[in-house]
Chain A
């Protein structure tokens, strides 16, 4: 597999694994961290492409269009207990990615799915593995323990799905070379967490998107 090369994405049988979210906003990074962990631990068949989608929204359209089967990892506000995983499939996915109170880039992603439909390049199968976040309002922060714990179970679910799709996941025999990583070594979980400035140096007050919270 060569995950870094999307030039040869035009594969009729492509399986796209997409991690969505912003690693800088604590549990918002769930999706990207899943893809990072998947790639560092497993190898896959050549038709499997792993994508660190970040918050690219519309710019992810070609990856969705290219997919025959699409597996999405994301932090989703289902209103459940933090760290709860929920798997959504096929026609239910757009609805779940567009409802209110979702992590906010989702609205953009629902639109991406609709555009793929309009352009008649919609994946045959779409599976969303979503995790209920615990904390989003911690800029520069990382996954909370509940979500980090759920990540392991999410990977298991993802691997099961990729097996069923004949993506041939198997534990990595040779460690991933840094230039092969779809995520960045300097943003890798350990490095990211270890290099965080302390709260004294760097204010951690979250986003006040809704002008709803007074920073303490």
Chain B
């Protein structure tokens, strides 16, 4: 199965779903990510270019890690839709474009194609966000994330750096790549634009960025090999380390003392910032495994915690927060432990910052667990279905905590 076919399926189904479905059948939008995930299962890495684009290296296919990530993200996105109390069918269009762009970005081995796919995803989301809630926060998403994709696009003509591993060219390329990754993951400026959209939009509107795009960008950033950047490698690594840790601490503080509806978004941003800081800033190998465990955990519990607090699922939410707390045997314990191990191999400053961020995430999780919200649970078997689905997801989360490396190997192949 060619990645282009998978992307076309995402895009086509997304457009059809938003045009055909009505309010009563809105939940069928979940078919878009489910079919996308199903088709991605059939994808295989081919030696030849799947989609030739002239002299460009083009779209070569999905590797095992990319395939696993896209399948997990697709299933998670479908569950986010199914567990929402209400759905606006026009979100299908955004989900379709973002899913297609994520597939292309992950399958491409050319920096220009990857950057343009990410540009398409961000442009689609920003258009929707500004349409839904015009304001300073949504416009900031367009400004900052748009600048990030522009930086990635600008880096493409300078790559590869064969023969130019010293001097200003690798430094400029590294700065552009670091800007792009930091802006897309919202770790610059300290989670600013993402915090704004999480605060001003419904969780469902943020889900395509949070579930489909962030894990893909994280994995793409990990694939920027230090050796290729030459003299620019320290710039890329150190910028992401410092900005990532700063953003993790800042998001941790706001997760602990900010409003409850934004708490999950802040914890997610803190975790992503820790992952990118450790994966790029620490040369030790445990960082990637830790980051993958954390990503899978978030994909597992995002459908529960992206549901508004007053819409039921009181106990599943509490268990989900417990899984995020970092207390063993929660999966985040193992993930953060591996990140800490990698960061500790670097310097003591980054270790202290990471421990501080993790402590703040723990405090935020405890506060979320102990919170009492007035919730109305559904009556009858139809009302109980979301609860059943939530408990099944939590069972998967607990299984990840009990066998973290086996499950990440099952999903990512390594």
Tell whether A pairs with B: no
Q: Which residues of A contact B (CB under 8 A)?
A: none
Query: Which residues from chain B sit less than 8 Å from chain A, CB to CB?
Result: none
